[in-house]
Amino acid sequence: MTTTPRSVLFVHAHPDDETGSTGGTIARCVAEGVAVTVVTCTRGEQGKIAVPELAHCAADQDDTLGDVRSAELAAANSTLGVTDHRYLIAEGFYRDSGRMGLPSNNRPDAFWQADLDQAAIWLARVIRETRPGALVTYDPIGGYNHPDHIQAHRVAMRAVQLAQTTSLRVPGTPYEVPRVYWCAVPRRLIQAELDDLKARESELPGLWINTDAGEYPDGVHDDSEIAVQVDVSDYMDVKCAATACHRTQLSVRDGFSILASGRGNRIQDREWFIDAMAWQQGIRGTAWRDWLFDDNDSPTDN
């Protein structure tokens, strides 16, 4: 029998990503006794602000948004039940790079400019310490081509490599992560949902629907590329409450998260993942598992 530790390491780019992309899965992990570690790469200093009275915190004004979002992240993690949260290397070590092509990408402290091995060595140490049965991060284009999401993917995948090799740069016993997942959403389902919502936009006052699935933050993929569909319907209250903690970035109303721009997305009661190792081998399928682990995985080996 394969023995896979029942623990998961989530690697996310900014505060609110842990909830928007994987909040239901995190809450379900906690409820089922799966150990959870969340690593956040930046404090989200470049984010757009949805709360008018906090507009002065923006990067081009007081530049204090990172402080606020750090507190929001702590509240969201507490709501989800996360007790092991870490910033990559240290809080504030890397700065939010902003969307692709902005001048903020070029700051020397921007995560987009991070030395890949420096960041990955630190994360490899966390992998060897926590020995996760699965690691969750983004696909190679970061879902929607955000530089920090792309960099989080690169760092996570490099850390998985480093953690399993003998290296004086990474202390501890080598460890091979059994499963690596990338956040995703099924293209056909999400596009149909966006089109339906757009047709009913007049019934949804105060928000607008962007039908460009390429802007969906988790990254759209064909059904055959997705390996796991996690039912988080029993944890929607927790997921919505954690989402609402990130109030500088969005509001929550009637099952929607609404960005500062007024763009709304439904808060999903399922979360989807690509099996990265199978994907890299060109393996595709149509049958989706319903959990990060399967029946052959040991329930306790951590």
DSSP 265: E
Instruction: Estimate to the nearest angstrom the gap between the alpha carbon of 139 and the chain centroid.
Output: 10
Q: How deeply is 176 buried, as exposed, middle or buried, from its count of CB atoms within 10 A (0-12, 13-18, 19+)? A: exposed
Q: What is the pLDDT of residues 42-56, one digit of tens each?
A: 999 999 999 999 999
Q: Where are the domains of the chain?
A: 7-280
Query: Which token pair is 115?
Result: 């030395």
Residue 298: predicted pLDDT:
53
Q: How far apart are CA 21 and CA 203, in angstroms?
A: 26
Instruction: Give pTM, 2 decimals.
Output: 0.95
Of 149, 143, 286, 119, give the one whose Cα is nearest residue 213: 143
Q: What is the pLDDT of residues 245-254, one digit of tens each?
A: 999 999 999 9
CB 153 within 8 A of CB 160: no
Q: What is the pLDDT of residues 120-168, one digit of tens each?
A: 999 999 999 999 999 999 999 999 999 999 999 999 999 999 999 987 7
* Residue 217 pLDDT class (50, 70, 90 cuts): confident
Vertex 88, ends 165 and 291: CA angle to 5°?
70
Residue 299: predicted pLDDT:
47
Residue 206: predicted pLDDT:
85
CATH of 7-280, one of 1.10.10.10, 3.40.50.10320, 3.40.190.150, 3.40.50.300: 3.40.50.10320
- Look up residue 17 and give its amino acid: D
For residue 236, how many other CB atoms are within 10 A of its CB? Answer: 16
Percent of the chain surpassing pLDDT 70: 96
Give the chain's largest Cα–Cα span. 60
